[in-house]
A and B are shown apart, each in its own frame.
Chain A
Amino acid sequence: MNIHIKNGRLIDPKNKIDAQQDVFIADRRIVGIGTAPTGFVAEQVIDASGLIVMPGLVDVAARLREPGYEYRATLESEMNAAVAGGVTSLCCPPDTDPPLDEPGLVEMLKHRARSLNQARVFPLGALTYGLKGTELTEMAELTEAGCKAFGQANAPLTDTRVLMRAMQYAATFGYRVWLRPQDSFLAQDGVAHDGEVATRLGLPGIPVVAETTALATMLQLAQETGVTLHICRISSAAGVELVRAAKRAGLNVTCDVSMNHVHLTEMDIGYFDANCHLVPPLRSLRDRAALRAGLLDGTIDTICSNHSPVDEDAKQLPFAEAEAGATGLELLLPLVLKWVEQDKVPLLDALARITINPAQLLGVKMGHLSLGAHADICVFDPKASWKMEPAALRSQGKNTPFNGFEMVGRVRYTLLDGQLVFQQ
């Protein structure tokens, strides 16, 4: 269908465009920016007056809970949540049940996702069988099945020899390795940042050194093996500094942070709010400031939702026993806009962190609106303010630490591959 999006403010970070320009779509692709191609006849016109038109968001961490955890969420509910949040491409970690360690599982997931025709799903494959940290998965086969990178999600990989070999093997084929740095011995039993709040509440702590010692090991092994390494969910100031130094030294490393950590700190736990039981733990104000600084100077490449829907019963427990995680797909854009407003970040730079940057580190062609690109588009109202009410979320996971927050910015239209898949 030929679609004309008119009167909107177009922001396309990859092409450094921030201007009042119309977008023309035909055959699922962008065929015109600013002026219509000759002979273009619109079958549908979207009036984007007062709205911002941007590439569909790319989220590098969203758990869809399929297969295995359908009681928490299903592909239907979560893909629906994705497009309602303007997210058109997402990457799901391999910690499903069973984990994504077999090509058949990955193909099934891709097929199920495709048939729903909502957002594009790019699975991360398991780096080791069963995420057990002992045997390598068939990375080449998994890549053919559609995996974009390999990781351990939150499962530990304590054997450094296995880690090094996994990196060597991945580097052989040019595959990306995605790891969340956390030393499992130092983090053992921990449920909160090992700091003032955990001390006050008597919560077992996860110290910053649990992140930095693991990170230092990963960076050294990456240097040794030449693998393309992506650091997931960095949480501490000291961790940001290690990545910054590694990038400066020319290492092939990228890094992401969850939107929760851009906005919250250990203080938000208050009196044992289990919605703030997250992985990694929310850290100190100083750490949050360093994460924001890392985002600004490019040390941190992208912000993800770290969408992890949890069922209500699993949160109605004492803090340490409650399951970690929060819903996030529908909050990614408004929380990035909140950061833009609070830190006076240029919108073009901020939106790069949820479009072209994550697309590049996933190695996919999405995240921009160049001529000929897939028409994955998010149109949002930058002035619409709304109050975060969990019941109104499309995600099956209703738990969020942002319950009751005032948000600004609301998605009006989402297009996937030139088709309108969401509007409100």
Chain B
Amino acid sequence: MNNPQLNKDGELQHLLTTEGLPARILRDLLDKATDFVNLAEGSEIKKVPLLHGKSVFNIFFENSTRTRTTFEIAAKRLSADVVNLNIGSSSTSKGETLLDTVDNLCAMHADMFIVRHSTSGAAHLIARHVAPEVHVINAGDGRHAHPTQALLDMFTIRHYKKEFHNLRVAIVGDVLHSRVARSQIHALTTLGVPEVRVVAPKTLLPTQVEKLGVQVYYDMAQGLKDVDVVMMLRLQNERMQGALLPSAQEYFKYYGLTQERLALAKEDAIVMHPGPMNRGVEIDSSVADGAHSVILPQVTFGIAVRMAVMSTLAGAK
């Protein structure tokens, strides 16, 4: 089976998932992002002309503010022309199919699509469909993948921890519904993290999650013991309805990240969260705003990482 993300020369053609990408490609993206971070900090002028004359279409079939905005900023810093489309409120509600929408945008000479969709596999479908010179970046598809979030998480970990091969990482929360968790797991294992844990009640873990290369913990205290990195996941309020959890209060009591629980991790552990946070549901405010939290730097790095992804794709032949 051909990897749909790579061209015949093994270069990155689309970024759809962190699964199946060689560590070399992930490392190159992180290195490139480092250059963009240095560039942003070292000069008055934040713009570079790498995507000058290119049209980037942000097509979001599902609402998002942060991800769409950071992609937009990243594209503009690369001098691309950016068009934002909130499809949720236009074409598909008039009955147009996903691929018809994409065909129309291709006819407007789009060079790159940044896609968010509520159904797993939407970005793969689009990538299979577009002409070879068009690039697709998955900005989140259903429960499947959110590769740029995972990459910015890897960037953040590398920034604070320098290496991957000596880390113990815990991912805590609703892994079942989380595209972020899946992408994080693949990225962490590919980059050589020897111990990746998932911590959640059984109702929030997918079947055979251990096959993804993680260790499963149902107990928060055991799961956080001696970890270097705590990656929290967002808990959607609707999980209370599907008989997955009894209440937000009970969830916080057993799986919320508090100062006491965090104290079980290593002294220099960092705390991450993909946002938006539910304070008092999955994370206590004192932790979110505390000394171990790197949640805001994650957002800053997100722009550099997305610049790295876009410029890498645009450079692929």
Contacts and interface: CB of A to CB of B under 8 A. Distances in A.
A199 B120 contact: no
Contacts of B120: 201-203, 272, 318-320
Given A316-B99, A318-B120, A202 B209 contact: no
B142 interface: yes
A271 B212 contact: no
Nearest to A267: B1
Contact of A271 (B1, B99, B119, B182): B1
A86 B281 CA distance: 62
Given A199-B211, A200-B212, A316-B97, A321 B119 contact: yes
Interface string A9-26: 000000000000000000
A202 B1 contact: no
A365 to B, nearest CB: 46
Nearest to A319: B121
B83 interface: no
Interface string A310-354: 000100111111000000000000000000000000000000000
Contact of B19 (A194, A200, A320, A321): A200
Given A317-B97, A317-B125, A318-B142, 8 more contacts: A199-B208, A200-B19, A201-B120, A202-B145, A203-B120, A316-B99, A318-B120, A319-B120
Interface string A174-213: 0000000000000000000011101111111101000000
B174 to A, nearest CB: 12
A198 B141 CA distance: 14
B119 A198 contact: no
B68 interface: no
Given A195-B207, A318-B119, A320-B121, A313 B182 contact: no
A318 B120 CA distance: 7
What 9 A-B pairs have minimum CB-CB distances, sorted nearest first? Answer: A202-B143, A202-B144, A272-B121, A318-B119, A199-B206, A202-B120, A318-B122, A319-B121, A318-B121
Contact of B207 (A199, A272, A320): A199
A199 B1 contact: no
B124 interface: yes
Contacts of B142: 202-203, 318, 320
Contact of A201 (B98, B117, B144, B211): B144
B116 interface: no
A270 interface: yes
A196 B208 contact: yes
B273 interface: no
A142 to B, nearest CB: 37
Contacts of A270: 1
Interface in B200-234: 206-209, 211-212
B204 to A, nearest CB: 13
Interface residues of B, number: 26
Contacts of B99: 316
A364 B308 CA distance: 67
B77 interface: no
Interface string A31-62: 00000000000000000000000000000000
Contacts of A321: 119
A205 B124 contact: no
B168 interface: no
A333 to B, nearest CB: 28
Interface in A153-172: none
Interface string A269-280: 011100000000
A198 B206 contact: yes
B205 to A, nearest CB: 9
Contacts of A202: 120, 141-145, 179, 182
A94 B208 CA distance: 36
A321 B4 CA distance: 20
B1 A320 contact: no
Contacts of B209: 199
Interface in B15-50: 19
25 contacts: A196-B208, A196-B211, A198-B206, A199-B206, A199-B207, A199-B209, A200-B182, A200-B212, A201-B120, A202-B142, A202-B144, A202-B182, A203-B121, A204-B143, A207-B207, A271-B124, A272-B121, A272-B124, A272-B125, A318-B117, A318-B121, A318-B122, A319-B120, A319-B121, A321-B119
Contacts of A205: 206-207
Contacts of A199: 206-209, 211-212
Contacts of A204: 143
Nearest to B209: A199
B98 A318 contact: yes
Contacts of B124: 271-272
